[in-house]
């Protein structure tokens, strides 16, 4: 049963991560085109670093780093009278009250915390990709339209919210749909973050030496993985179709090649 | 132990030379730099060979997908769909299980064929099995890129060739092939970069690392596990990968320059580097 539930875990991760990553990406993109230099550097640096390094390294890095950061902050606030250093050789020691999750808390809290860390990590990494896509989308909006807005006496903020925002999505959509595909294909990496996802259960249930069955059975893992393969193929195919529909709908009435006729994408 | 000794002991550790035991405690910065760099040999090995062989597969599949004959086109379409539509991570797992099962199936069918059983045993090892998966994977992704380039070859070029009576193989060799490569090259550069990044997945999927000979990420996570401090090994890994990416960009940029040699300066396609697409 947990195997089937783990499909739910994956879908939930997708559902939670996609908007969060979009939010991160939005802030990243607006920061990258900000007029305040440090903010702009931050936005550009964020996208550049995340994109230049294998993301699996980021997944492994952020889970530990975020965990330690949370515990460190709690440690500083909760036990201020603690005098020993936090890093003792190869150990990371915080006081018992600062442990996250508390060692006394039930099992589901531990699992939820692991899931939360995974979502945050995914959002940070994919936020950088999304920032890049949205940045490209913002730059693709015809400049003359923004100037027209300013000529009518709109402030920078108004131009951003009323002219740039509604129009950038159509330019960003091909990139975003690509990103969604990548996100789908990245979900099996949850396994590396220690979440009990479908890969974990496929290995567990399929393995001949598993504890899930009381009777021995031959090695079924190949069939489980075949199932997963088909699951992911179906997911990508369905999203492809949905995005195509969305694209034709959004291109209506836009100043792109796809806008003139209802058929054909703007990509 | 001085840093020079560390380099002597561990520089080729990932290939099985030098000290057997990995350092267990008191990790110095030098230890980490040397071992992670040593693991990078594997990443380069996987990346270079998979790209080199995958290129030919990709061209073949791309032309098959562009052909009018459904017997050629359909398998090519399915192959590209399956390898591009599913996560590389799952592909690794699936391939490993498949390769493990193969000898059992193989011995049932043809007993006495020693060569086949030997070959399938090698497939369960990372150096061949993972390479095989990466080869098929990059073949599919680059085939899609080349297919796109094939479709965007200016129609006039091909028609001009027809008008001059150049058909068949000479037309492909002299007209279509160079233009296809030129158009596809910027995207293909990105693909090469993704592939190098994807090689880090090998030892985290089904393929076991034998005698702790792993790739760069394997050693980086080893240090992170042992020291419980991710802030040293992962930045080192990032540093190495940025260097590797720069090398790839350098090599592919040189090829791109050569492909665009005949064009006026402002028409030549600029390499736009957009690294990082996960598969």
Q: What is the pLDDT of residues A223-253, one digit of tens each?
A: 778 888 888 888 888 888 888 888 787 777 6
Task: Give the integer Cα–Cα distance in Å for A143 and B53.
Answer: 45
Task: Please give, rounded to a whole number of angstroms, the shortest distance from the CA of A124 to a CA of chain B.
Answer: 14
Tokens of B196: 């190098």
What value does the mean pLDDT take over residues A79-89?
Answer: 62
Per-residue pLDDT, B112: 47
User: Among partner residues B82, B224, B229, which is closest to A233 by beta-carbon distance?
Assistant: B82
Task: Give the integer Cα–Cα distance in Å for B151 and B146.
Answer: 9
Task: Please give, rounded to a whole number of angstroms, the shortest distance from the CA of A252 to a CA of chain B.
Answer: 25
List, as own/partner pairs, every contact residues A251-259 make where C-beta atoms lie below 8 angstroms and the sequence separation is at least 24, other chains included. Answer: A251/A170, A254/A167, A254/A170, A255/A142, A256/A170, A256/A171
Eight-state DSSP code of residue B209: P
- pLDDT tier, A213 (very low <50, low <70, confident <90, very high otherwise): low
Residue B61: which of B140, B178, B158 has the closest Cα? B140
Per-residue pLDDT, B108: 47
Task: Give the integer Cα–Cα distance in Å for A4 and A226.
Answer: 15
Torsion (CA) B234, B190, B209, A122 in degrees, nearest 10 = 50
Mutate to test the interface with B, among A57, A224, A227 (most CBs of B within 10 A): A57
Per-residue pLDDT, A28: 83
Contact across the interface for A60 and B201, Cβ inside 8 Å? no
Mutate to test the interface with B, among A47, A51, A53 (most CBs of B within 10 A): A53
Q: Is A90 on the interface with B (CB under 8 A)?
A: yes
- Going along chain B from its start, the domains and CATH numbers come out as 41-267 (1.10.3720.10)
Task: Give the integer Cα–Cα distance in Å for A257 and B164.
Answer: 34
Per-residue pLDDT, B279: 46
Per-residue pLDDT, B48: 93
> Could you report how far apart the first and last alpha carbons of chain B are, in Å?
41
Contact across the interface for B276 and A225, Cβ inside 8 Å? no
State the CB neighbour count (10 A cutoff) for residue A148: 13
Q: Is the Cβ–Cβ distance between A235 and A187 less than 8 Å?
A: no
Per-residue pLDDT, A202: 73
Per-residue pLDDT, A97: 63
Task: Please give, rounded to a whole number of angstroms, the shortest distance from the CA of B19 to a CA of chain A.
Answer: 23
Mutate to test the interface with B, among A49, A60, A232, A235 (most CBs of B within 10 A): A60
Residue in A closest to B99 by C-alpha: A222
Residues lower than pLDDT 50 in chain B: 106-117, 275-279
Tokens of A72: 């460190």
Task: Please give, rounded to a whole number of angstroms, the shortest distance from the CA of A195 to a CA of chain B.
Answer: 15
Q: What mean pLDDT, rounded, does chain A reach?
A: 75
User: Among partner residues A64, A91, A189, which is closest to B89 by beta-carbon distance?
Assistant: A189
Q: How far is CA A225 from the centre of its chain?
A: 24
Which residues 61-80 of A are in CB contact (within 8 Å) with B? 61, 64-65, 68
Contact across the interface for B274 and A229, Cβ inside 8 Å? no
User: Among partner residues A65, A222, A232, which is closest to B97 by beta-carbon distance?
Assistant: A222
Per-residue pLDDT, B59: 92
Contact across the interface for A199 and B98, Cβ inside 8 Å? no
Chain A residues close to B224, C-beta within 8 Å? 60-61, 64
Residue A193 has pLDDT above 80, yes or no: no
Three-state DSSP class for A158? Answer: helix
pTM: 0.78
User: Among partner residues A65, A192, A202, which is closest to B230 by beta-carbon distance?
Assistant: A65
Q: Is the Cβ–Cβ distance between B55 and B195 less than 8 Å?
A: no
Residues whose CB falls within 8 Å of the CB of residue A89, separated by 6 or more in sequence, listed in order: none
Per-residue pLDDT, B74: 92
Tokens of A110: 């531990």
Task: Please give, rounded to a whole number of angstroms, the shortest distance from the CA of A131 to a CA of chain B.
Answer: 13
Per-residue pLDDT, B270: 60
User: Among partner residues A52, A87, A188, which is closest to B87 by beta-carbon distance?
Assistant: A188
B271 vs A166: which has the higher pLDDT: A166
Mutate to test the interface with A, among B77, B97, B224 (most CBs of A within 10 A): B97
Contact across the interface for A222 and B230, Cβ inside 8 Å? no
What value does the mean pLDDT take over residues A190-202?
Answer: 70
CATH 1.10.3720.10 for domain A9-196, yes or no, is yes
A208 vs B253: which has the higher pLDDT: B253
For B89-146, the DSSP string reads HHHHHHHHHHHHHHHHHHHHH-TT-HHHHHHHHHHTSHHHHHHHHHHHHHHHHHHHHH
Chain B residues close to A88, C-beta within 8 Å? none
């Amino acid at each position: 049963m947990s195997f089937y539930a783990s499909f739910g875990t994956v879908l939930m991760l997708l559902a939670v991560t996609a908007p969060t990553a979009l939010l991160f990406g939005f802030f990243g993109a607006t920061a990258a085109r900000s007029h305040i230099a440090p903010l702009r550097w931050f936005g550009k640096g964020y996208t550049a670093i995340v994109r230049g390094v294998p993301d699996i390294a980021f997944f492994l890095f952020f889970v530990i780093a975020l965990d330690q950061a949370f515990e460190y902050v709690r440690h500083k606030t909760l036990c201020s009278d603690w005098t020993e250093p936090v890093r003792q050789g190869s150990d990371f020691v915080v006081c018992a009250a600062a442990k996250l999750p508390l060692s006394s808390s039930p099992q589901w809290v531990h699992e939820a915390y692991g899931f939360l860390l995974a979502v945050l990590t995914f959002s940070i990494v994919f936020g950088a990709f999304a920032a890049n896509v949205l940045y490209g989308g913002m730059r693709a909006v015809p400049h003359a339209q923004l100037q027209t807005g300013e000529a009518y006496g709109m402030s920078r903020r108004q131009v951003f919210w009323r002219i740039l925002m509604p129009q950038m999505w159509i330019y960003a959509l091909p990139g975003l749909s690509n990103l969604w595909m990548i996100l789908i294909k990245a979900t099996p990496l949850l396994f590396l973050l220690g979440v009990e996802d479908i890969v974990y259960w496929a290995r567990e249930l399929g393995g001949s030496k598993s504890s899930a069955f009381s009777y021995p059975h031959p090695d079924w893992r190949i069939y489980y993985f075949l199932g997963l393969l088909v699951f992911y193929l179906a997911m990508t195919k369905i999203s492809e179709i949905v995005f195509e529909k969305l694209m034709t709908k959004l291109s209506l009435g836009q100043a792109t090649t796809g806008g003139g006729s209802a058929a054909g994408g703007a990509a | 132990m001085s840093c020079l000794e560390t380099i002597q002991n561990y520089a080729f550790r990932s290939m099985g030379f030098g000290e057997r035991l990995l350092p267990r405690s008191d990790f110095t910065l030098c230890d980490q730099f040397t071992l992670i760099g040593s693991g990078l040999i594997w990443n380069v090995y996987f990346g270079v060979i998979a790209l080199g062989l995958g290129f030919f597969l990709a061209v073949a599949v791309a032309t098959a997908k562009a052909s009018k004959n459904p017997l050629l086109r359909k398998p090519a379409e399915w192959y590209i769909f399956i390898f591009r539509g599913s996560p590389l991570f799952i592909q690794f797992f699936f391939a490993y299980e498949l390769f493990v099962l193969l000898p059992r199936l193989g011995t049932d069918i043809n007993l006495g064929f020693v060569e086949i059983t030997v070959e399938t045993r090698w497939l369960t090892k990372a150096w061949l099995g993972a390479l095989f998966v990466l080869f098929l994977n990059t073949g599919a992704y680059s085939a899609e890129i080349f297919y796109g380039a094939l479709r965007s070859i200016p129609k006039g070029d091909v028609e001009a060739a027809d008008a001059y009576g150049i058909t068949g193989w000479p037309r492909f060799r002299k007209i279509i092939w160079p233009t296809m490569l030129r158009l596809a090259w910027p995207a293909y550069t990105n693909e090469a970069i993704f592939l190098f990044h994807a090689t880090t997945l090998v030892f985290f999927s089904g393929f076991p690392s034998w005698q702790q000979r792993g790739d760069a990420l394997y050693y980086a996570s080893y240090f992170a596990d042992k020291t419980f401090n991710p802030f040293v090994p992962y930045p080192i890994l990032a540093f190495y990968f940025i260097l590797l990416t720069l090398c790839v960009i350098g090599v592919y940029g040189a090829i791109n320059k050569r492909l665009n040699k005949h064009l006026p300066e402002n028409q030549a396609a600029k390499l736009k580097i957009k690294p990082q697409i996960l598969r």
